[in-house]
């Protein structure tokens, strides 16, 4: 198959692109930045997908794309708290999705969309969240809003124009290709980086319990979805793709410290504004429809992630520098550490 992957220079895009190549597919990437980890594994167009482009069926923004069979739309501003501080980026996410949908509509291409567990909000009402319980009245953050908007566009295109889709709701994907310094705001690589350097770390949310998904499990699920959607076997479904188990973020931090063999200096603060503090996915639909079978529990995933991180760092010693967190924060933004208000009305 020929697969167009947007966001192909990101964490999931890089892992997915390599996996699809291994499986014998052709990959065409689109991203606004160069891939920080792999060179020329597949052709990649550097393009900003968030522009306001006139309709053009050959590709987005008047650029002629190669013929493809299916689109995987991963490109997004993917950091929750960054979008709370900079809500215009949430709008850009919606514009990117709109552009990709218009392209898919013009070429009659099926699409896989990367949504998030964020669409469930922070409601603490369920043991395991199945796909039916998402409720936009609980939109937790502007990032969540951008994913809900993306899903809504997808469903409306299916109804109005016969779009074929799969929506995947990911949750805390971690593992290789998530450590680029400029954007190191993902929590597990940030902890690894800091603990390796003997720096203190902060866990926002003592009891924060999340469903951490090792990237190989995530990519395995997407690859299964691509095959199922392309063959017409599974069409127009929304599916949780996670490990299916809750773990405290504090435990993840401790596992990283243990793996690195360091005494961690961990402080605990209240969760940040807009964050989900409890989520455990019900992945039975993915199991039933796609034979999805996540295999990497958190302790094993952290073992592999830390091993990869150390190997990468050994080959790139210049990256052993202090991280300026929230580099994209501008004056006037909500300060980092802004406390969550009382959750009235939940
Ligand atoms: N990683 C997770 O834990 C997780 C969880 C839930 C949902 N998701 C979603 O999955 C998708 C992939 O996530 P990821 O972890 O690989 O994120 P990532 O940030 O590593 O990758 C996203 C990529 O999109 C690109 N991009 C951003 N704006 C763009 C633009 N205007 N034009 C072109 N490219 C642009 C970025 O350059 C980046 O390479 C995202 O949509 C994200 O919201 C991820």
The residue with greater pLDDT, 179 or 343, is 179
Provide mean pLDDT across the span 19-46: 95
Which protein residue has the closest C-alpha to ligand 1 atom 42?
A: 78
The region of weakest confidence among 17-21, 91-95, 134-138 is 134-138
Answer whether residue 267 shows pLDDT above 90.
yes
Residue 166 Cβ inside 6 Å of ligand 1? The answer reads: no
Answer whether residue 64 shows pLDDT above 80.
yes
* Residue 338: predicted pLDDT: 35
The region of weakest confidence among 8-22, 63-77, 123-137, 251-265 is 123-137
Answer whether residue 227 shows pLDDT above 50.
yes
The residue with greater pLDDT, 202 or 183, is 202
Q: Where are the beta strands (DSSP E) in the chain?
A: 2-6, 26-31, 44-46, 70-73, 111-116, 165-170, 173-174, 201-204, 209-210, 213-214, 237-241, 247-248, 266-269
Provide mean pLDDT across the span 48-71: 95
Beta-carbon count within 10 A of 260 CB: 18
Answer whether residue 265 shows pLDDT above 60.
yes
Provide mean pLDDT across the span 42-67: 95
The overall average pLDDT reported for the chain is 91
Which protein residue has the closest C-alpha to ligand 1 atom 7?
A: 116
* Residue 326: predicted pLDDT: 55
Q: Please check whether residue 321 is in contact with residue 255, taking contact to mean a CB–CB distance below 8 angstroms.
A: no
Answer whether residue 335 shows pLDDT above 50.
no
* Residue 180: predicted pLDDT: 85
pLDDT tier for residue 123 given thresholds of 50, 70 and 90: confident
Answer whether residue 185 shows pLDDT above 80.
no
Provide mean pLDDT across the span 117-125: 89
From ligand 1's centre to the CA of 26, what distance in Å? Answer: 21
CA distance 132 to 23: 32
pLDDT tier for residue 253 given thresholds of 50, 70 and 90: very high
Residue 111 Cβ inside 6 Å of ligand 1? The answer reads: no
- Who contacts 155 (Cβ-Cβ below 8 Å, separation ≥6)? none
Provide mean pLDDT across the span 298-327: 90
Answer whether residue 172 shows pLDDT above 60.
yes
**Tokens (6 digits) for 303:** 């073992």
pLDDT tier for residue 325 given thresholds of 50, 70 and 90: low
Residue 151 Cβ inside 6 Å of ligand 1? The answer reads: no
- Who contacts 299 (Cβ-Cβ below 8 Å, separation ≥6)? 255
DSSP string spanning 99-116?
HHHHHHHHHT--EEEEEE
**Tokens (6 digits) for 193:** 């980086």
Residue 144 Cβ inside 6 Å of ligand 1? The answer reads: no
**Tokens (6 digits) for 326:** 């929230």
Residue 76 Cβ inside 6 Å of ligand 1? The answer reads: yes
Answer whether residue 178 shows pLDDT above 70.
yes
Residue 96 Cβ inside 6 Å of ligand 1? The answer reads: yes
Model pLDDT for residues 273-284, shown as the tens digit of each residue: 888 899 999 999
């Amino acid at each position: 198959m020929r697969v167009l992957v947007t966001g192909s220079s990101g964490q999931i895009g890089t892992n997915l692109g390599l996996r699809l190549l291994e499986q014998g597919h052709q990959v065409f990437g689109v991203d606004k930045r160069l891939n920080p980890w792999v060179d020329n594994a597949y052709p990649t167009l550097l393009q900003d997908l968030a522009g306001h482009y006139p309709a053009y069926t050959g590709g987005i923004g008047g650029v002629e794309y190669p013929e493809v069979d299916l689109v995987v739309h991963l490109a997004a501003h993917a950091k929750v708290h960054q979008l709370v501080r900079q809500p215009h980026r949430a709008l850009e996410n919606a514009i990117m999705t709109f552009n990709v949908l218009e392209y898919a509509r013009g070429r009659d291409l099926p699409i896989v969309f990367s949504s998030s567990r964020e669409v469930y909000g922070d409601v603490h009402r369920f043991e395991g969240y199945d796909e039916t319980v998402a409720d936009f009245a609980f939109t937790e953050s502007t990032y969540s809003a951008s994913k809900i908007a993306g899903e809504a566009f997808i469903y409306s295109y299916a109804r109005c124009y016969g779009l074929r889709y799969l929506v995947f709701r990911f949750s805390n994907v971690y593992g290789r290709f998530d450590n680029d310094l400029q954007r190191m705001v993902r929590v597990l690589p940030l902890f690894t980086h800091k603990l390796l350097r003997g720096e203190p770390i902060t866990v926002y949310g003592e009891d924060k319990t999340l469903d951490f998904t090792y990237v190989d499990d995530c990519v395995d699920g997407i690859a299964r979805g691509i095959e199922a959607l392309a063959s017409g076997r599974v069409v127009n479904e929304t599916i949780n793709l996670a490990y299916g188990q809750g773990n405290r973020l504090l435990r993840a931090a401790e596992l990283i410290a243990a793996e690195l063999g360091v005494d961690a200096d961990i402080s605990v603060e209240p969760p940040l504004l807009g964050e989900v503090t409890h989520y455990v996915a019900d992945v039975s639909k993915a199991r039933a429809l796609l034979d999805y079978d996540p295999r990497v529990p958190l302790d094993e995933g952290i073992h592999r992630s830390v091993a990869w991180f150390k190997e990468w760092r050994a080959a790139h010693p210049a990256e052993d520098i202090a991280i300026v967190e929230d580099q994209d924060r501008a004056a006037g933004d909500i300060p980092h550490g802004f406390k969550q208000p009382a959750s009235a009305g939940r």
